[in-house]
C-alpha cells in the first residue's frame, strides 16, 4: 500500500510540474507578446495597457511603485547616490524623463532632479499626497514616478524626488 501511495504521489508531483512548466511558458509568451506590442508604439504616442498587461512586463517591485503608487525606502535604492552621466527613462514604457545634468544630491535618499528632460516628459497629478509634494507620473504611460516639491535648487527651485524603481539609466559613453 505504501508503494502505491508513493507512486500516486510521484505521479501527482510530475503532473504538477508539467502544469507549472506550461504556465511559465504561457506567461513568458504573454510577456513577449506585450513587450512586442509596447515596442511597436511610437515614443510620441501614449501607452494604454491594462494592469494585467503591466503585470506581465514589470517586476513585482516595479508594479508596486509604478502602477500602485508605492514608494521605495530612502538610501536603499539603485540611483539615490549615482553620479554617472546619462539619461533616465521610464522603467515601464521607455519615455525619456531626466538628464543626469539636472540630478543633484538632495539628502533625501531618493534620486532628485531640478527639472525633467523636456516640458512634456512628466505630468503632475491633480492631487497632492506625499508630505506636501505633488505626484509626478510619466506623461506617456501614466506610471507613478515620485513627487515634486518646491524646495529644490536654482534655477527652478523644484525637487523632483523619484523612485529608482521607476527609472532606468542609459549611461553616457565613457562611464
pLDDT score for 74: 95
- Of the pLDDT bands very low, low, confident and very high (cuts 50, 70, 90), residue 23 is very low
**Gap between the Cα atoms of 124 and 138, Å rounded:** 9
Percent of the chain with pLDDT over 90: 73
DSSP letter at 63?
A: I
pLDDT at 133: 87
Q: Could you give the CA distance from residue 172 to residue 175 in angstroms, rounded to a whole number? A: 6
Residue 78, Cβ neighbours under 10 Å: how many?
14
Residue 39 in this model has a pLDDT that exceeds 90: yes
Which residues are designated catalytic? 161
Query: Which pLDDT score is estimated for 3?
Result: 60
Q: What contacts 2, CB < 8 A, 6 or more positions away?
A: none
- How far is Cα 58 from Cα 98, in angstroms, rounded to an integer? 21
pLDDT at 31 over 70: yes
pLDDT at site 132: 72
**CA 27, CA 116: separation in Å to the nearest integer?**
35
Of 48, 82, 65, the residue nearest 172 (C-alpha): 82
Q: Is 47 helix (H, G, I), strand (E, B) or coil?
A: coil
User: Which pLDDT belongs to residue 54?
Assistant: 97
What is the 3 state secondary structure string of 14-44?
HHHHHHHHHHHHHHHHHHHHHHHHHHCCCCC
Could you tell me if 133 and 125 are in contact, meaning their C-beta atoms sit under 8 angstroms apart?
no
Predicted confidence (pLDDT) per residue in 87-124, tens digit:
999 999 999 999 999 999 999 999 999 999 988 999 99
Half-sphere exposure of 167 (CA within 13 A, CB side): 34
Mean pLDDT of the chain: 86
Task: Tell me the pTM.
Answer: 0.82
Q: What is the largest CA-CA distance in the chain?
A: 80
**CA-based R_g, the chain, Å:** 21
Residue 44 has pLDDT above 80, yes or no: yes
CA distance 3 to 75: 56
Amino acid at each position: 500500500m505504501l508503494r502505491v501511495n508513493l507512486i500516486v504521489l510521484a505521479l501527482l508531483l510530475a503532473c504538477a510540474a508539467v502544469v507549472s512548466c506550461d504556465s511559465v511558458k504561457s506567461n513568458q509568451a504573454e510577456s513577449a507578446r506585450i513587450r512586442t506590442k509596447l515596442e511597436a508604439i511610437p515614443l510620441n504616442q501614449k501607452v494604454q495597457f491594462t494592469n494585467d498587461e503591466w503585470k506581465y512586463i514589470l517586476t513585482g517591485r516595479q508594479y508596486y511603485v509604478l502602477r500602485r503608487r508605492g514608494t521605495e525606502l530612502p538610501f536603499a535604492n539603485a540611483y539615490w547616490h549615482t553620479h554617472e552621466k546619462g539619461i533616465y527613462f521610464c522603467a515601464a514604457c521607455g519615455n525619456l524623463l531626466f538628464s543626469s545634468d539636472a540630478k543633484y544630491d538632495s539628502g533625501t535618499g531618493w534620486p532628485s532632479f531640478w527639472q525633467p528632460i523636456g516640458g512634456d516628459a512628466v505630468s503632475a497629478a491633480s492631487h497632492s499626497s506625499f508630505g506636501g509634494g505633488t505626484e509626478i507620473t510619466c506623461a506617456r504611460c501614466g506610471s507613478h514616478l515620485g513627487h515634486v516639491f518646491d524646495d529644490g535648487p536654482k534655477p527652478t527651485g523644484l525637487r523632483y524626488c523619484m523612485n529608482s524603481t521607476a527609472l532606468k539609466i542609459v549611461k553616457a559613453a565613457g562611464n
